[in-house]
Structure 1
Amino acid sequence: MSDQLSAGVSSAPTLAPGVPAPGRGRSRPRRRRSSLVVPYLLLVLPVVLVVVSLGYPMVKQFIMSFQEFGLAQQFGRPPTWVGLDNYTQILTDSYFWTVVARSVAFCAVCAVLTMGVGIALAVLMQQLSVVPRIALQIALVLAWAMPPLAALTVYKWLVEPRYGLLNWILTSMGLESFRGYSWLAGSPWSFFAIAAIAVIWTSAPLVTLSTYAALNQVDEEVLEAAQLDGANGWTRLRSVVLPIIQPVVLLLFMLQIIWDLKVFTQINVLQSSAGNNKATNLLGTYVYETGISGGNYGVASALATVMLLLVLVLTFRYMRTLMKQGDL
């Protein structure tokens, strides 16, 4: 029996080195090819949607920025090619640079305050017990989910000159100068203060919840080691925690810059009560006023293109930092 087995084994055909055995290894190349193809197929739909929904309008806007496109073109007259005239018109307009400076300043204040409030609330949530933490999370989600128009209606009621809650509180404290004071029409500073609160109220919940999720991923052993080295809470947060969650913080800050620079809804709704749009215009409302209200779509397209370039310039540094860290 052993001789037969040994004979059967010895009679089995030998294969040259590097040649796969029959019936083996044939399905692996197909599996590898399919595993490489599937991710690209999954990317086709979102890429097509982005190209259709954003790519075409951006190309159309870029072309219109070199054309005279007004109300006449809306009724069928062919647009006239004017080259760089639209860009020359806006870049030589002093009011445009006033709006740009105002928009950048408003964006910087809102973005920094939003990040500060969001990170502070996230750290606070880590220190709370279960019930207060869940209550705060629910409150943040509700504030985030509230439609901006509904929130702005409440803000307009709070700062109403005659019956608003804010003026009532201030006059009750003996500050008679605020009796009948119009926060929206009285001064651009008070207008932008109310607008900044509305913008921060809308944006802070996302920063808080995202930062809180990132804080929960920090290794406890690292914090314990820093505590054993004598680092207090502030030092641990500044020197240990924030560097670890830096990619999340940078991404949120970059998004805040983009959102706050092109803010429109809050400013436009509050302007309806202020009445002085020229003193309170930001880039978003200025583009809307030039294009939709004024009917000058060529100049409005040039404004929107310059606005896009400004956003890219302001966020380039943060995008480059994220790309170096491998997050983009």
Structure 2
Amino acid sequence: MSATLAEPDATPRTPTTKPPRPPKGAPTAPRRKKPVQWAPWALLAPSIALLVVMVVYPTIVMLVTSFTNLEIKNKMLGTSPDFVGFDNYIEIFTDSQFPQVLARSLGLMVVLTVLIVVFGMLIALTMTKLSKAWRLAVSVSLLFAWAMPPLAATVVWGWMFDTDYGVINWALNTITGTQDWRGHGWLENPWSFMMVLVIIVTWQSIPFAAITFYAGLGQVPEEVIEASSLDGASAWQRFRLIVLPYMRNVITAVLVLETIWNLRIFTQVYALQQQGGLASETNVLPTYLFRQGLGEFGTTAAIGVFMVILLMAISYFNVRNSLKDEEL
């Protein structure tokens, strides 16, 4: 060891010094191929198989069907459908109802997403200021609302807005001291129908956003909040300049999920339509797809493909903006 250190020609090695390269023509040791790690693939195989069976295969079948004129008679007679190209897509976009249904669905999606995110954040911020007992009570209440099946929740809210026996009409008559609200049909008017729908969906979707935001608020360092408070920052400034940057990923995830869920609402809309709503004036994309030509699988498949593309585009836009902010 001492002889090695005493050599005058030896240059000290530093972490940045590269090892000397062997001269050209010198024999080099053969590179060993890294063995394939089969254990991770074996663990992922059940999930991949499930995704292929439940997602990939139906999507491919739907895409292929959207370019054919497959109908129920083909299933009954055992005949093959004809390839029609983009005729199904042209048909749905030239249908007089589809533009209205699309605009109604997008508008409903925006309103629901904004309300759910805003009220969810307000409840989450409020929970951080509550005592442990009250925080537990609020969490349990949120979980009860979230755990209720959508159909059951819609039926209960439908009874509350019932024309003859609804508690909403009774309360309004009691408050105003009149009988003006007696027999008022909330579901008969498309605008009041959408108002009732927004209340139901928002009430049942807020718990997920609130609990997720509350968990995300735990990632914000208390020291930074206290330092900014001592520097004179207002509550709004602390929320905008400190809390929001720390929770950007959480908010993006909730936005993407709520956007997808709110564009795929079916149960609540269909149940309210069965309780007195006019389907032709209150349809959204899922119910329109369900009611569009029973047995015309080619047309309904085209609507489904359009919904998938629309959801992917919206989700990609939100995720891309989030990744750009992270890089900055």
Fold similarity call, TM over 0.5:
yes
Equivalent residue for 1:308?
A: 308
- Residue 308 of structure 1 and its aligned partner are, at CA, apart by 1.2
Spell out, residue by residue over 1:48-105, the C-alpha distance to the aligned partner (whole angstroms, 9 max, x if none). 2111101111111111101112220231232222111101101112311111000000
- Give the CA RMSD over aligned residues: 2.0
Equivalent residue for 1:152?
A: 154
3-state DSSP of counterpart to 2:208: helix
3-state DSSP of counterpart to 1:173: helix
Equivalent residue for 2:41?
A: 40
- Residue 116 of structure 1 and its aligned partner are, at CA, apart by 0.6
- Residue 275 of structure 1 and its aligned partner are, at CA, apart by 4.3
Equivalent residue for 2:4?
A: none
- Residue 260 of structure 1 and its aligned partner are, at CA, apart by 0.4
Output the CA distance in 2 between the equivalents of 1:207 and 1:39.
33
Output the CA distance in 1 between the equivalents of 2:147 and 2:216.
21
Query: Relative to structure 2, which stretch is displaced further, 118-127 or 90-99?
Result: 90-99
1:39 partner letter: P
Output the CA distance in 2 between the equivalents of 1:118 and 1:280.
26
Task: Tell me the TM-score normalised to structure 1 length.
Answer: 0.85
Equivalent residue for 1:181?
A: 184
Spell out, residue by residue over 1:103-122, the C-alpha distance to the aligned partner (whole angstroms, 9 max, x if none). 00000000000001111100
Specify every segment of 5 or more residues in structure 2 that has no aligned partner in the other structure, as ranges. Answer: 1-31
- Residue 316 of structure 1 and its aligned partner are, at CA, apart by 2.2
1:227 partner letter: S
1:208/1:92 CA distance change after superposition, 3 Å: same
2:224 partner letter: V
3-state DSSP of counterpart to 1:94: coil
Equivalent residue for 2:63?
A: 62
Equivalent residue for 2:80?
A: 78
Output the CA distance in 2 between the equivalents of 1:165 and 1:108.
29
Output the CA distance in 2 between the equivalents of 1:280 and 1:274.
11
3-state DSSP of counterpart to 1:203: helix
Output the CA distance in 1 between the equivalents of 2:119 and 2:295.
40
Spell out, residue by residue over 1:179-220, the C-alpha distance to the aligned partner (whole angstroms, 9 max, x if none). 1111111x1010011111111122111111110001012111
- Residue 321 of structure 1 and its aligned partner are, at CA, apart by 2.6
2:113 partner letter: A
1:290–1:297 CA contact under 8 A, matched in 2: no
1:320 partner letter: R
Match of 1:218 among 220, 228, 231: 220
- Residue 298 of structure 1 and its aligned partner are, at CA, apart by 0.8
1:311 partner letter: L
2:70–2:82 CA contact under 8 A, matched in 1: yes
- Residue 149 of structure 1 and its aligned partner are, at CA, apart by 1.3
- Residue 234 of structure 1 and its aligned partner are, at CA, apart by 2.1
Output the CA distance in 2 between the equivalents of 1:100 and 1:198.
21
Q: How does 1:167-316 map to 2 (within 5 A)?
A: 167-174=169-176, 176-185=179-188, 187-290=189-292, 294-316=294-316
Q: Which has the higher helix share?
A: 1
1:70 partner letter: E
How many residues are aligned here?
295
Output the CA distance in 2 between the equivalents of 1:177 and 1:101.
33
Specify every segment of 5 or more residues in structure 1 that has no aligned partner in the other structure, as ranges. Answer: 1-28
Equivalent residue for 1:49?
A: 50
Output the CA distance in 1 between the equivalents of 2:320 and 2:284.
27
